[in-house]
Amino acid sequence: MAHPSGRLPSPSRPTARNRERLTTRFTETQTGIPKGMPVLLERALVSGAGGFVGSALVAHLAVTEAPLRMGAPDWTEQLGTTNFQDATIFHLAARVHADDDDDPAFLHDNVDKTLALARAARRGGARRFVFLSSVKVNGEESRSHAFNRADKPAPQDAYARSKSQAEAGLAMIEGLDVVVVRSPLVYGPGVKGNLLALLRLCDSPWPLPFGALDNRRSFVHVDDLARLLIDCATHPDAAGRTYFAAHERGVSTRDLVAGMRGALGRPARLVGVPARALEACAAFAGQRARMQRLTRSLEVDASDAARELGWTAQIAFENALEDMVGSYRRLPS
């Protein structure tokens, strides 16, 4: 049941012995998950536990940390010594950026390591493998309808292609229950990347040229995404399926920027510049693709998760902005 404010109750964050701050790691728990789930997780292993999504998932699982690091030079040896028996694997770790869009590091980190982990999990007797993928597997723009699981993959960059290839490889592994979650942009406290850059831009006194952008983009709060990942791990009917994570309310760039500025205590100060003009100007600076992420629509249909798992995003857009701005205010200046 949703909290009256639209927020999830804050999970307790247990103190872990020998805590290490690692970019990519596995986390193990024997404590299970909150009551009401169809299956209790007796053992869970989380890669990317130190990341934005991973830290939220770890908090909801109330886990303690184990020293397996997929980013370490000996990651293959560590796979051979990990106890996967009856474990649920949450594979969140991924390479998101590289100097070159065709950098082979995307294939190595996002495809080779994913499949090696899945095969090791299958050999070790794991019960389920939950893979965090991206809506970018479907493409960069939704035109006639919101993307859903029936749409064919159409990845446009190296990151998206690597996620698509990892999904295809996982589908070929027999003897392991795999669930794929394709996520749009994730917001919430501690947000990073493009949304943090946009937040910093909004925290300025200057007028911004986004007043004419009436596009639609899907978002999901990090805590709502964590709940979906847990539902995919525990629901008996989730195995072998792909789910999209998103709040049912799509948001235009105009409303996003105005909302950010409002949460920051600033006036909106938006100027109505047409999308084509913004894209043309950005092209001169070699930033057309980046601008198109602001001007174009990218919506997903999360109704499969609602119908089959009973999951819906609970945290409202306004509350998510408050979370983002609150954590942004606490960043060192």
DSSP symbols for 247-298? -SS-B-HHHHHHHHHHHTT----B----HHHHHHHHHHTT-HHHHHHHHS-B
Integer Cα distance of 202 and 155 in angstroms:
30
Please give the structure tokens belonging to residue 246. Answer: 């998103």
Element containing residue 123 per DSSP (H, E): helix 113-123
Only one residue has tokens 């009436």, namely 214
**Contact criterion met (CB below 8 Å) for 290 and 253:** no
Concatenating the DSSP letter of every residue in 264-277 gives TT----B----HHH
Distance CA 117, CA 129 (A): 9
pLDDT confidence of residue 16: 33
The number of angstroms, rounded, from the C-alpha of 83 to the middle of its chain's C-alpha atoms is: 26
Query: Which one-letter DSSP state was computed for residue 217?
Result: B
Rounded to an integer, what distance in angstroms lies between the CA atom of residue 88 and that of residue 20? 22
**Contacts of 118 by beta carbon, 8 Å cutoff, 6+ apart:** 89, 91, 129, 169, 170, 173, 176, 178
Domain boundaries, the chain: 27-329
In sequence order, what are the residues at sequence separation of 6 or more whose Cβ sits closer than 8 angstroms to the Cβ of residue 1?
A: none
CATH class of 27-329: alpha beta
- Please work out, in degrees rounded to the nearest 5, the angle formed at the alpha carbon of residue 124 by the alpha carbons of 29 and 106: 85
Structure confidence at residue 23 (pLDDT): 27
pLDDT confidence of residue 99:
58
In DSSP terms, 227 is beta-bridged to none
Q: Which residues contact 192 (CB under 8 A, 6 or more apart)?
A: 52
The predicted structure's pLDDT at residue 195? 92
| Tokens at 44, concatenated | 């869970």
The three-state secondary structure class of 182 is strand
pLDDT tens per residue, the chain (333 residues)?
A: 344 444 444 444 333 333 222 223 334 333 233 333 334 577 889 998 888 999 899 888 865 545 457 777 888 988 999 999 988 999 999 998 765 666 788 999 999 999 999 999 999 999 999 999 999 999 999 999 999 999 999 999 999 999 999 999 999 999 999 999 999 999 999 998 889 999 999 999 999 999 999 999 999 999 999 999 999 999 999 999 999 999 999 999 999 999 999 999 999 999 999 999 999 999 999 999 999 999 999 999 999 999 999 999 999 999 999 999 999 998 886
Q: Token digits for 309?
A: 């798992």
Rounded (10°) angle between helices 113-123 and 158-171? 20
CA distance 194 to 185: 9
CA 297 to chain centre: 18
